[in-house]
Structure 1
Amino acid sequence: MDAEQLDRIFKALADPTRRRIIDRLREQPAQSLFQICAGSVAEGEKALSRQAISQHLDMLEKAELLQVSWSAQTKIHSLDLKPLREAADIWLNKHL
């Protein structure tokens, strides 16, 4: 993992909305944008537009924290913990 990838991961984790999306995908893997939006409303979180959540998902995807697959015409998002574990091994653990 290079320094740029490490920066993308920590930048993605810096936002509380993206951390909530990660938590939601960890609890219930393989969700569509609609399911993620509906889950945030059901949990009483501050309402965000589909476009805003889509932008957060894009940031998580660029950080390689999400795997994307397609079911018909629906994009399905799943959490990929491998880059997060690598970031912890490379940077966090050396400071703990």
Structure 2
Amino acid sequence: MADIYRALADATRRVLLDELAAGEGKTLFELCGALTMQHGLSMSRQAVSQHLAVLEAAGLVTTERRGRSKFHYFTPEPLAEIQRRWPHERTSP
């Protein structure tokens, strides 16, 4: 679970998750374009790829290769596990 918190601690990785959660799988090229055009974040493809690797290691992103393209998908299950661990409702003492 520490990997999830570490992955979410970075603002750029949260933006990447927002982009992936907004639609179907996206390639590195599409994600780099979205970061630049929609969020004003200018970074190299390698930097974005490293952020995606951290998210994938935390279980928040999965990938699928189709031909020469690699598609990235948001995986919400680790976040659901956090929500189950600490429920919203509190009982009064």
Work out whether the TM-score is over 0.5: yes
| TM-score, length basis structure 1 | 0.86
Match of 1:73 in 2: 68
Whether 2:8 is the aligned partner of 1:50: answer no
Structure 1 segments unaligned to the other structure (5+ residues):
1-5
Give the aligned residue type for 2:41. Answer: K
Measured in 2, the distance between the counterparts of 1:77 and 1:17 equals 16
The answer as to 2:16 corresponding to 1:21 is: yes
Query: What is residue 84 of structure 2 aligned with on the other side?
Result: 89
Higher helix share: 1
Cα deviation 1:31-71 (Å, max 9, x = unaligned): 00000001111114220110100000000000000111011
Larger Rg: 2
Q: Provide the aligned C-alpha RMSD in A.
A: 1.7
Aligned residue-pair number: 90
TM-score normalised by the chain length of structure 2: 0.88
Q: Which runs of 4+ in 1 moved over 3 A?
A: none
